[in-house]
C-alpha cells in the first residue's frame, strides 16, 4: 500500500519528519516496508533564468547566461531546442547529481555528477535540465515528458531549490497492511492511523456536491445475486466532457504508480487510491435499456474486458450486465463494450460491495488480477462505499467534467450491513489481559483518537465502533487497539505468577525416537530431512511397476510443480535422490538416515484422514558394503532391545542377490539391500549404494524395555563349532537351528567362513562361537550333550556336519 506524504498531509497536520512518522507507524502496527524518497538521486538543482541566449554557429547549441540568484550568473552551453531568453528552467550546478540519459533523451542510464566542462570549446558551468534528467515526468509536472528543457513557472525564484517546486521533496510510504485492516488499504485509511498515532484530528475528504434534477425512472438497477453483491450504488452524471485530468490528480496517480487516462477514469482511480473503494464508470449510452443487472454469469457466457482479453465465464463469476449482456466483470475489470471514450456524454458511476470470496475466485480462475480485485479480495465496507460515491461526484464537479444529477440508485440487500456496532468493555478485563494498568481515561483518549465514540461509566466503556472497522469483534480487539497506541514498551516480562505447575518434556514415545536417532548419529549416520512430496517419476526411477500399491500416492490438488506433486508412500526415492545429488556433487561416500512420515490412503482420491506412518530410512554409498548397512540395522535392533532376522528377498530397485527382508518376532518390518546395478547405471552412480527402510510404527511394537536380571551363579560356557554345509545354507538358518536345539544358547556368532578345496565343491565351512548361559543350575558337565544335540539337529535339518 503506497501513501505519499504530500497526500497524507491533506488530511492530517503532520509535524514530524518522514523517518519519525515511519517509526510511529511501525510501533502501531503498520510496517513501512520501504520509505521512498522521491527526489533521492537529485541534488544541487536550482531555478535558473536564461537572460542571454546566443546560438553557436554551425551547431545546435546555444551559449546562455543563466541567472541562478544567490548562485550567481552562470555561462551554460545548452543543446535543447526550446532554450531561449526569458525562460526559467532547472539548472544543475557544478557538483549536482542528476540522471544521465541515453541519446534518445528519455532512457535513464544512471546518476551523474555535473562537472565544469567545455562543449565545442565553450565553457559551461552547469547544465540546463529536462524533466527526465531530474526524474520528473509529465504526470508529476506539466511539460515533464518533453525532451527539451523543463519550463518552470515564471514566478519561481531564481536560485531556489527546484525540489519543492516540481514535487521532488516528497516521500512515499510503502506500507504492509495486515489482513485484518482492509480499511487501511487507502491513503485516507492510513491518514486516520497517522492522526491517531500523532494525536491529531483527521480532516475528511470533501464529499459535498450539488445535483440537478434528472429523470428518476431513467436508470434501473437490479441485484440478482445479493449474497455476493450485498450493496450496489449507481449514480448518473450527464453532460460529461472527457478531457485530460488536471496536474494535481495526475501527480497523485503517478506517485502511486497509476497512469492517467482521462478525467472520468482518473476520478475512479483517484477514489480507489484515496478511499480504498474501487469504482467503475460506464458509458451510459452503451448500456442496453439504460439498465444494470447484477447477476451470476451464465455457463460459457463471454466478456471482453478493457484490456481486450476475452473470457469464458461460469456461474461462479459475478457480472454486471445491461439489459442484455455483461458489461463488466464485477470487482475485477470493466468490459470493453461500455468503456469510457472521448465521445462519452453520460456516465453511470458504480460503487458497490462485492463479496471477497467471489472476487477472489473470479480473479484467480481467470488469472485477471487488478487493483480493484485486490481491494475487494481484502474487503471493502459499505460506509466507505457510500462516501466514495459522494467523493467521486464531488470531484466531477471540482474538475468540471460533468453535471451531477440526483439520479442515485442505492440497492441495499438483506446482506447489506450498515448498522454501527456498539459494545461495552471493562477496563479491568482489558488490563487483566494485558497484565498492566492502563488508566481508564487514557483508554478513552486512545479510542477517541481512533474515532470510537466513547462513554465512560466507571470501569466500563460504552463504545460505538467506527463503521469502517469491521475487524473489531470482542474486548481483546479493544485491548489491542489500546496497547498498540499506548505502546508495547509498557509490557514488562512476568513469569505466569498465577499459573499452575505443570510437568514438561518429551513423552516416553518421543524419547524413544530421540534415543534411536542419537544411536544412529553415534554410529556415523547423518540425519537428513527431505520433502514429504515428490514426483510420480520417482517411482519410475526405482522401477516400481505400474499398478503397484506404492504408486497409490495422495495427490496434491494444487502442487507447485509435477516434481512436488504427490505425498510419498515410501522414503526410498527420497534417499535415492539424496545419494544421486551427493555423488553428482562429488561427495563420494556418505551415510544418512531419515525418520519421517509416509502417507497412506485407504482410498483415492482421499476422503478421510490418511494414515501417517513413520519410517526409518537408511542410505549408504561409497566405501561400504551390505554388512555396513546391516550393522546399522542391527544397531536399531539393539536400541529397541530386540532381535532382527534377515531373509533373502527381491525388490524392484535392489540387487536380487544382495537384499534381505527384515523380520522382527516373525513380522516383516522392512528391508535392506544394494541398489541394483541396472538402476545404478541409469542414474550414473559411480559408487555402490545401499538403501534400507524400516517401518518405525511396526518396530515400536516390538521394542522391549530392558529388565534387569540377576547375574547367573554359574559361569557362561562357550564352544567353537566349525561346520561344513552346502553352499546354499545361510548363516541365518544355522543360527536359528542352533538356537532351536538348546534353550541355554544365548548367542551364536559367526567368526569365519571358508570356501575352497579343503571343504569340497559346492560346500562351505562356517565357524561359530556358541554361548550357553545357565539359569540356576550348573551346566558345564552337560555342554557336551548340548553340542551333540545341536549337531544332531543341524545334520538332520540342514545336512550340516562338524568339520
Partner 1 sequence: MEIESDIKKTDQDVDEALESVSSSKQLQDVKMKFLGKTGRVSELMKCMRDVVAEKKREVGQLLNELRARTEAKFNALNEKLKKKELEERYAAETIDVTMPGRKSANGAFHPNTLIKDELVSIFSGMGFEVFEGPEIENDYYNFTALNTPADHPARDMQDTFYLSRDLLLRTQTSAGQIRVMENKKPPIKILSPGKVYRSDDDATHSPMFSQMEGLVVDKGITLCDLKGMLDEFAKKVFGNDVKTRLRPSYFPFTEPSVEVDVSCFECGGKGCRLCKGTGWIEVLGAGMVNRRVLEGCGVDPDVYTGFAFGMGIERIAMLKYGINNMKLLFEGDTRFLKQFKD
Among 58, 605, 710, 757, binds partner 1 (CB under 8 A): 605
Nearer to partner 1, 314 or 433 (CB): 433
Q: Helix (H, G, I), strand (E, B), or coil: what is residue 279?
A: strand
173, containing H or E segment: strand 171-176
Q: Report d(CA 748, CA 718) in Å as an integer.
A: 10
Residues 667-706, interacting with partner 1 (CB under 8 A): none
Q: How far is the CB of 692 from partner 1 (least distance, A)?
A: 15
Is 24 a binding residue for partner 1 by CB under 8 A? The answer is no
Q: Report d(CA 275, CA 11) in Å as an integer.
A: 12
Dig out the grid coordinates for 160 from the structure: 531556489
Residues 6 or more apart in contact with residue 240 via CB below 8 angstroms: 264, 344, 345, 346, 347, 401, 402
Q: Report d(CA 635, CA 629) in Å as an integer.
A: 10
Residue recorded with cell 488530511: 11
Among 300, 308, 343, 494, binds partner 1 (CB under 8 A): 494
CA distances from 526 to 128, 578, 580, 595 (A): 67, 12, 16, 11
Nearer to partner 1, 219 or 380 (CB): 380
| Residue-wise burial string across 44-60, b where 16 or more C-beta atoms lie within 10 A, e elsewhere | bbbbbbbeebeebeeee
CA distances from 408 to 214, 277, 287, 351 (A): 9, 18, 17, 11
Stretch that binds partner 1, among 125-133, 190-198, 201-209, 433-441 (CB under 8 A): 433-441
Residues 49-88, one symbol each (x = binds partner 1 by CB under 8 A, - = not), give: ----------------------------------------
Answer yes or no: are the C-beta atoms of 82 and 146 closer than 8 Å. Answer: yes
Nearer to partner 1, 377 or 467 (CB): 377
Q: Report d(CA 590, CA 40) in Å as an integer.
A: 53
Among 60, 85, 428, 581, binds partner 1 (CB under 8 A): 581
Among 495, 549, 681, 781, binds partner 1 (CB under 8 A): 495
Q: How far is the CB of 314 from partner 1 (least distance, A)?
A: 18
Residues 533-552, interacting with partner 1 (CB under 8 A): 533
Q: Helix (H, G, I), strand (E, B), or coil: what is residue 651?
A: coil
Q: How far is the CB of 567 from partner 1 (least distance, A)?
A: 7
Among 43, 75, 101, 532, binds partner 1 (CB under 8 A): 532
Q: In this structure, how many other beta carbons lie within 10 angstroms of the beta carbon of residue 189?
A: 22
Is 435 a binding residue for partner 1 by CB under 8 A? The answer is yes
Stretch that binds partner 1, among 54-62, 496-504, 644-652, 739-747 (CB under 8 A): 496-504
Residues 403-432, interacting with partner 1 (CB under 8 A): 432
Among 71, 296, 353, 591, binds partner 1 (CB under 8 A): 591
Q: How far is the CB of 357 from partner 1 (least distance, A)?
A: 5
Alpha helices, DSSP H, located in 222-317: 247-255, 263-275
Among 82, 587, 649, 797, binds partner 1 (CB under 8 A): 587
Is 129 a binding residue for partner 1 by CB under 8 A? The answer is no
Nearer to partner 1, 45 or 553 (CB): 553
558 burial via Cβ count (<10 Å: 0-12, 13-18, 19+): exposed
Among 37, 145, 371, 477, binds partner 1 (CB under 8 A): 477
Residue recorded with cell 548562485: 71
Q: How far is the CB of 26 from partner 1 (least distance, A)?
A: 7
Nearer to partner 1, 172 or 567 (CB): 567
Among 392, 434, 674, 741, binds partner 1 (CB under 8 A): 434
CA distances from 544 to 338, 547, 569, 571, 626 (A): 58, 9, 12, 13, 22
Q: Are strands 73-78 and 62-67 parallel, antiparallel or unpaired?
A: antiparallel
Pick from 344, 349, 340: nearest CA to 235: 349
Nearer to partner 1, 23 or 222 (CB): 23
Answer yes or no: are the C-beta atoms of 338 and 305 closer than 8 Å. Answer: no
Dig out the grid coordinates for 276 from the structure: 480504498
Q: How far is the CB of 149 from partner 1 (least distance, A)?
A: 39
Among 58, 110, 493, 666, binds partner 1 (CB under 8 A): 493
Among 3, 21, 22, 28, binds partner 1 (CB under 8 A): 28
Nearer to partner 1, 346 or 594 (CB): 594
Q: How far is the CB of 479 from partner 1 (least distance, A)?
A: 6
Dig out the grid coordinates for 131 from the structure: 524533466
Q: In this structure, how many other beta carbons lie within 10 angstroms of the beta carbon of residue 487?
A: 11
Nearer to partner 1, 245 or 440 (CB): 440
Stretch that binds partner 1, among 201-209, 216-224, 527-535, 544-552 (CB under 8 A): 527-535
Residues 343-382, interacting with partner 1 (CB under 8 A): 355-357, 360, 377-379
Residue-level length of the chain: 803
Residues 185-214, interacting with partner 1 (CB under 8 A): none
Nearer to partner 1, 563 or 678 (CB): 563
Residues 6 or more apart in contact with residue 574 via CB below 8 angstroms: 530, 531, 534, 538, 568, 594, 617
Q: How far is the CB of 261 from partner 1 (least distance, A)?
A: 29
Stretch that binds partner 1, among 320-328, 482-490, 648-656, 748-756 (CB under 8 A): 482-490
Is 523 a binding residue for partner 1 by CB under 8 A? The answer is yes
Among 367, 504, 666, 757, binds partner 1 (CB under 8 A): 504
Is 631 a binding residue for partner 1 by CB under 8 A? The answer is no
Q: How far is the CB of 20 from partner 1 (least distance, A)?
A: 15
Among 216, 248, 531, 627, binds partner 1 (CB under 8 A): 531
CA 111 to chain centre: 34
Dig out the grid coordinates for 126 from the structure: 552547469
Q: How far is the CB of 356 from partner 1 (least distance, A)?
A: 6
Count of positions on this chain that bind partner 1 (CB under 8 A): 91
Residues 550-579, interacting with partner 1 (CB under 8 A): 554-560, 564, 567, 578
Pick from 147, 150, 146, 145: nearest CA to 163: 150
Q: Report d(CA 235, CA 254) in Å as an integer.
A: 27
Nearer to partner 1, 419 or 607 (CB): 607
Residues 751-790, interacting with partner 1 (CB under 8 A): none
Answer yes or no: are the C-beta atoms of 194 and 14 closer than 8 Å. Answer: yes
Q: Helix (H, G, I), strand (E, B), or coil: what is residue 389?
A: helix
Residues 170-189, interacting with partner 1 (CB under 8 A): 178-182
Nearer to partner 1, 607 or 761 (CB): 607
26 burial via Cβ count (<10 Å: 0-12, 13-18, 19+): middle
Amino acid at each position: 500500500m503506497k501513501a505519499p506524504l504530500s497526500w497524507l498531509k491533506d488530511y492530517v497536520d503532520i509535524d514530524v519528519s518522514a523517518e519519525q512518522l515511519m517509526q510511529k507507524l511501525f510501533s502501531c502496527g503498520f510496517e513501512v516496508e520501504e520509505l521512498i524518497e522521491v527526489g533521492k538521486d537529485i541534488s544541487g538543482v536550482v531555478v535558473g533564468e536564461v537572460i542571454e541566449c546566443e546560438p553557436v554557429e554551425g551547431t545546435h547549441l546555444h551559449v546562455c547566461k543563466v541567472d541562478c540568484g544567490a548562485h550567481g550568473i552562470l555561462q551554460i552551453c545548452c543543446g535543447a531546442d526550446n532554450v531561449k531568453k526569458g525562460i526559467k528552467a532547472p539548472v544543475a550546478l557544478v557538483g549536482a547529481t542528476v540522471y544521465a540519459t541515453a541519446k534518445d533523451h528519455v532512457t535513464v542510464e544512471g546518476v551523474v555528477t555535473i562537472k565544469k566542462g567545455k562543449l565545442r570549446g565553450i565553457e559551461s558551468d552547469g547544465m540546463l535540465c529536462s524533466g527526465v534528467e531530474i526524474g520528473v515526468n509529465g504526470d508529476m509536472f506539466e511539460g515533464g515528458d518533453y525532451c527539451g528543457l523543463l519550463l518552470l513557472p515564471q514566478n519561481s525564484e531564481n536560485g531556489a531549490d527546484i525540489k519543492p517546486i516540481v514535487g521532488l521533496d516528497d516521500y512515499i510510504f510503502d506500507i504492509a497492511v495486515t489482513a485484518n485492516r482492509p480499511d487501511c488499504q487507502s491513503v485516507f485509511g492510513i491518514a486516520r492511523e497517522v492522526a491517531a498515532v500523532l494525536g491529531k484530528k483527521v480532516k475528511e475528504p470533501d464529499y459535498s456536491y450539488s445535483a440537478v434534477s434528472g429523470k428518476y425512472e431513467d436508470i434501473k438497477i437490479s441485484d440478482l445475486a445479493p449474497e455476493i453483491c450485498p450493496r450496489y450504488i449507481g449514480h448518473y452524471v450527464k453532460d460529461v466532457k472527457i478531457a485530460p485530468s488536471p496536474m494535481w490528480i495526475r501527480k497523485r496517480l503517478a506517485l502511486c504508480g497509476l497512469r492517467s487516462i482521462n478525467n472520468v477514469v482518473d476520478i475512479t482511480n483517484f477514489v480507489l487510491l484515496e478511499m480504498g473503494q474501487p469504482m467503475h464508470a460506464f458509458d451510459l449510452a452503451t448500456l442496453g435499456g439504460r439498465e444494470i443487472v447484477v447477476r451470476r454469469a451464465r455457463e460459457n457466457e463471454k466478456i471482453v474486458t478493457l484490456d481486450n482479453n476475452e473470457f469464458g465465464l461460469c456461474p461462479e463469476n459475478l457480472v454486471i450486465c445491461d439489459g442484455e449482456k455483461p458489461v463488466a466483470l464485477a470487482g475485477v475489470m470493466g468490459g470493453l463494450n461500455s468503456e469510457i471514450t472521448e465521445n462519452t456524454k453520460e456516465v453511470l458511476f458504480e460503487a458497490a460491495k462485492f463479496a471477497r470470496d467471489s472476487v477472489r475466485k473470479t480473479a484467480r480462475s481467470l488469472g485477471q488480477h487488478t487493483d480493484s480485485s485486490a481491494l475487494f479480495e481484502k474487503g471493502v465496507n459499505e460506509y466507505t462505499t457510500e462516501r466514495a460515491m459522494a467523493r467521486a461526484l464531488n470531484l466531477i464537479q471540482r474538475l468540471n467534467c460533468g453535471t451531477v444529477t440526483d439520479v442515485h440508485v442505492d440497492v441495499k440487500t438483506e446482506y447489506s450491513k450498515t448498522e454501527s456496532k456498539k459494545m461495552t468493555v471493562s477496563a479491568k478485563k482489558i488490563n487483566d489481559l494485558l497484565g498492566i494498568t492502563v488508566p481508564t481515561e487514557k483508554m478513552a483518549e486512545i479510542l477517541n483518537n481512533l474515532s470510537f465514540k466513547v462513554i465512560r461509566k466507571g470501569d466500563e466503556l460504552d463504545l460505538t465502533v467506527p463503521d469502517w472497522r469491521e475487524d473489531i469483534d470482542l474486548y481483546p480487539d479493544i485491548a489491542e487497539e489500546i496497547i498498540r497506541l499506548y505502546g508495547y514498551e509498557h509490557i514488562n516480562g512476568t513469569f505466569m505468577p498465577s499459573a499452575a505447575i505443570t510437568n514438561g518434556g518429551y513423552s516416553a514415545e518421543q524419547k524413544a525416537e530421540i534415543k534411536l536417532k542419537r544411536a544412529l548419529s553415534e554410529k556415523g549416520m547423518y540425519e537428513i530431512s527431505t520433502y514429504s512430496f515428490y514426483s510420480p517419476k520417482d517411482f519410475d526411477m526405482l522401477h516400481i511397476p505400474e499398478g503397484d500399491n506404492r504408486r497409490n500416492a495422495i495427490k496434491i490438488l494444487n502442487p507447485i510443480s509435477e516434481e512436488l506433486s504427490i505425498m510419498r508412500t515410501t522414503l526410498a526415492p527420497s534417499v535415492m535422490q539424496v545419494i544421486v545429488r551427493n555423488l553428482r556433487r562429488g561427495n563420494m561416500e556418505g551415510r544418512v538416515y531419515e525418520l519421517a512420515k509416509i502417507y497412506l490412503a485407504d482410498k483415492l482420491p482421499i476422503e478421510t484422514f490418511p494414515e501417517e506412518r513413520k519410517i526409518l530410512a537408511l542410505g549408504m554409498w561409497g566405501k561400504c558394503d551390505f554388512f555396513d548397512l546391516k550393522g546399522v540395522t542391527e544397531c536399531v535392533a539393539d536400541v529397541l532391545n530386540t532381535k532382527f532376522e534377515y531373509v533373502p528377498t527381491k525388490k524392484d530397485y535392489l540387487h536380487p542377490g544382495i537384499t534381505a527382508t527384515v523380520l522382527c518376532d516373525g513380522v516383516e518390518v522392512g528391508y535392506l539391500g544394494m541398489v541394483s546395478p541396472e538402476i545404478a547405471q541409469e542414474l550414473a552412480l559411480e559408487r555402490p549404494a545401499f538403501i534400507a527402510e524400516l517401518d518405525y510404527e511396526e518396530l515400536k511394537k516390538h521394542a522391549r524395555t530392558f529388565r534387569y536380571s540377576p547375574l547367573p551363579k554359574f559361569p557362561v560356557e562357550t564352544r567353537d563349532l566349525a561346520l561344513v554345509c552346502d553352499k546354499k545354507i545361510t548363516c541365518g538358518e544355522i543360527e536359528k537351528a542352533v538356537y532351536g536345539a538348546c534353550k541355554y544358547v544365548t548367542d551364536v556368532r559367526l567368526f569365519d567362513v571358508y570356501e575352497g578345496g579343503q571343504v569340497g565343491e559346492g560346500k562351505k565351512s562356517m565357524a561359530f562361537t556358541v554361548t550357553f548361559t545357565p539359569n540356576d543350575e550348573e551346566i558345564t558337565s552337560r555342554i557336551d550333550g548340548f553340542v551333540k544335540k545341536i549337531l544332531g539337529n543341524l545334520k538332520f535339518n540342514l545336512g550340516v556336519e562338524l568339520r
